[in-house]
Structure 1
Amino acid sequence: MRTEKPVRVQKVIADRGLASRRQAEEWIEEGRVTVNDQIITLGDKCLPSQDQVAVDGNPIPRREPQKLVLAMNKPKGVTCTNSDPHAKRTVFDLLPKELQTERLFCVGRLDLESEGLLLLTNDGQLKQELTHPSFNVVKLYSVEIDKPLQPSDVPKLIRGIKWEGEPLAIDKVFPSGLGGKENWKKLEVTLHHGKKREIRRLFYAFGYDVKKLRRFQIGQYAVKGIPRGGFRILGKRDIKLLFASPGGAKPT
């Protein structure tokens, strides 16, 4: 009979789909996590199937849930949130009832007016790897602005700025198609991170208003084939594509 090995508590919380490992570490440092009714410190371990871990007094399941990753084609007007009393409709409302009971959370949110590829999962560690800049996961966006982008602003957008103390920048930007200057209103933007409304805020800082924003690809996985408001359950091969270099991708 195999002996269960102790596991760091932050990993247990992430494995149960409650948060990323980093978020779990913050909860531990804030004194919100207990094991067998005792407040723990960062680095403490537990036996997942025997010890009772709780966050804010709420016990978490002893058994690790089956990992689930969904790719959704988010429409405009739908909020990326698990709980917001002011949200008229959330991305979780688009899921069938049997999936609405799962502990899923968004991986890299899209704002209310943005659309396209959105990932939902109960795998906290996967969420961390997909969203933290150190993993260099590339996201591709189709962006339409109110007037043609001036070539002199391209290096400025890549170099970036500080907005309210937060650095904002993109990796690449170029027109979506061939043609004249007018095509510089429809752009493809690439970045490997994603702060709140980063693309909209950055373009606004240089005098442009983003009229349309759509994330069409993460790594080599594209939203093509998923109907608006629909979703697809991802397998291991799909998840590998999320971490692959996108190469010469084009909006779909």
Structure 2
Amino acid sequence: MERLQKLLARAGVASRRESEKLICAGRVSVNGRVVTELGAGADPAVDAIAVDGAVLSFDEPMHYLALNKPAGYVTSRSDTHDRPTVMSLIPEQLRPFVVPVGRLDLDSEGLLLLTSDGRLTHALTHPSFGVPKTYLATVRGHVTRDGLRALTHGVELEDGPATAADARIERRAGNNCVLRIVLTEGRKREVKRMCEAIGHRVVHLRRIAFGPIEIGSLPLGRHRNLSDDEVNRLYKVTRLRRGRRA
């Protein structure tokens, strides 16, 4: 038997201190039972230890996937309204282990990362790490230079100001305009709300890059394994040190 926080750290989920926070927050379970006591222990050889519902593996290597999410799929492990989730698009044998890294809206598509590496997931999604995400947003009307400047200088949203790291016109298509927008945080519907703040409604949104990982030619609805070099680049952009199990 080992203490849970030590096991979580050994599995690469987080440091021991951060693992203690996960336990206290009720995000850790053993054999389906939520555990909030810091002194609790478990045996990884016989117990199913999970964080946010994802069972940790102490024997298998870490899994790192890139998925080209179609519209109409919920970015979640399950859905209370019985809508299809992104988990149905990956191999069944991986579903108990990996979790989506961040989220894409139901009607948005594009690059979604999934992994069993909890420590990397935290770093990729926490705004303090500033990992850039790149989107192509098709909006109604033609955006002016002043509109682009407003996006990069900051627009006021109901939950506070939001600023794009970069915003430029990719191309014009009839009465629409395709913008390339780079964000370093991931608030709910942030791209759409920022575009609405400058007077343009988003009619199509696609994420094409997450940090150094690009969607490339990956077909819609398909996934692929990240290469070892790509995983190393994710660790580099988050300034984390990659452990031997990662």
Q: Quick one: which amino acid aligns to residue 141 of structure 2?
A: K
Q: Which among 117, 120, 142 is matched to residue 114 of structure 2?
A: 120
Alignment of 1:163 onto 2:157: yes
Q: Which among 231, 235, 242 is matched to residue 239 of structure 1?
A: 231
Corresponding residue of 2:141 = 147
Corresponding residue of 2:68 = 73
Specify the SS of the correspondent of 1:175.
strand
Corresponding residue of 1:199 = 191
Task: State, as a whole percentage, how many aligned pairs show the same letter.
Answer: 32
Is the Cα–Cα contact under 8 Å of residues 75 and 116 in structure 1 kept in the other structure?
yes
Specify the SS of the correspondent of 2:87.
helix
Task: Kindly state the Cα deviation for residue 7 of structure 1 after the two structures are TM-superposed.
Answer: 7.8
In structure 2, runs of 5+ residues without a counterpart are: 238-246
Task: Kindly state the Cα deviation for residue 26 of structure 1 after the two structures are TM-superposed.
Answer: 4.1
Is the Cα–Cα contact under 8 Å of residues 164 and 183 in structure 2 kept in the other structure?
yes
Report the TM-score, using the length of structure 1 for normalisation.
0.74
Q: How does 1:29-68 map to 2 (within 5 A)?
A: 29-30=24-25, 40-41=37-38, 63=58, 65-68=60-63
Q: Which among 217, 225, 241 is matched to residue 217 of structure 2?
A: 225
Specify the SS of the correspondent of 1:176.
strand
Q: Which among 86, 96, 107 is matched to residue 91 of structure 1?
A: 86
Give the whole-Å Cα distance in 1 for the aligned partners of 2:105 and 2:65: 18
Matched residues, number: 231
Is the Cα–Cα contact under 8 Å of residues 137 and 242 in structure 1 kept in the other structure?
no
Using a 3 Å threshold, how does the CA distance of structure 1 residues 111 and 124 change in structure 2: closer, same or farther? Answer: same
Is the Cα–Cα contact under 8 Å of residues 121 and 127 in structure 1 kept in the other structure?
yes
- Bigger-Rg structure (1/2): 1
Report the TM-score, using the length of structure 2 for normalisation.
0.75
Using a 3 Å threshold, how does the CA distance of structure 1 residues 142 and 96 change in structure 2: closer, same or farther? Answer: same
Corresponding residue of 1:248 = none
Give the whole-Å Cα distance in 1 for the aligned partners of 2:47 and 2:161: 40
Is the Cα–Cα contact under 8 Å of residues 16 and 65 in structure 1 kept in the other structure?
no
Specify the SS of the correspondent of 2:103.
coil
Deviations 1:209-232 (A, max 9, x none): 001111111233211121110000
Using a 3 Å threshold, how does the CA distance of structure 1 residues 74 and 51 change in structure 2: closer, same or farther? Answer: closer
In structure 1, runs of 5+ residues without a counterpart are: 246-252
Corresponding residue of 2:129 = 135
Is the Cα–Cα contact under 8 Å of residues 24 and 36 in structure 2 kept in the other structure?
no
Task: Kindly state the Cα deviation for residue 112 of structure 1 after the two structures are TM-superposed.
Answer: 0.8
Deviations 1:130-169 (A, max 9, x none): 1123323221111110111121122221232443334422
Using a 3 Å threshold, how does the CA distance of structure 1 residues 54 and 242 change in structure 2: closer, same or farther? Answer: closer
Give the whole-Å Cα distance in 2 for the aligned partners of 1:187 and 1:38: 46
Using a 3 Å threshold, how does the CA distance of structure 1 residues 12 and 164 change in structure 2: closer, same or farther? Answer: farther
Give the whole-Å Cα distance in 2 for the aligned partners of 1:47 and 1:202: 46
Is the Cα–Cα contact under 8 Å of residues 211 and 234 in structure 2 kept in the other structure?
yes
Is the Cα–Cα contact under 8 Å of residues 218 and 242 in structure 1 kept in the other structure?
no
Specify the SS of the correspondent of 1:119.
strand
Q: Quick one: which amino acid aligns to residue 224 of structure 1?
A: G
Aligned alpha-carbon RMSD (Å):
3.9
Is the Cα–Cα contact under 8 Å of residues 48 and 63 in structure 1 kept in the other structure?
no
Task: Kindly state the Cα deviation for residue 46 of structure 1 after the two structures are TM-superposed.
Answer: 7.0
Specify the SS of the correspondent of 2:97.
coil
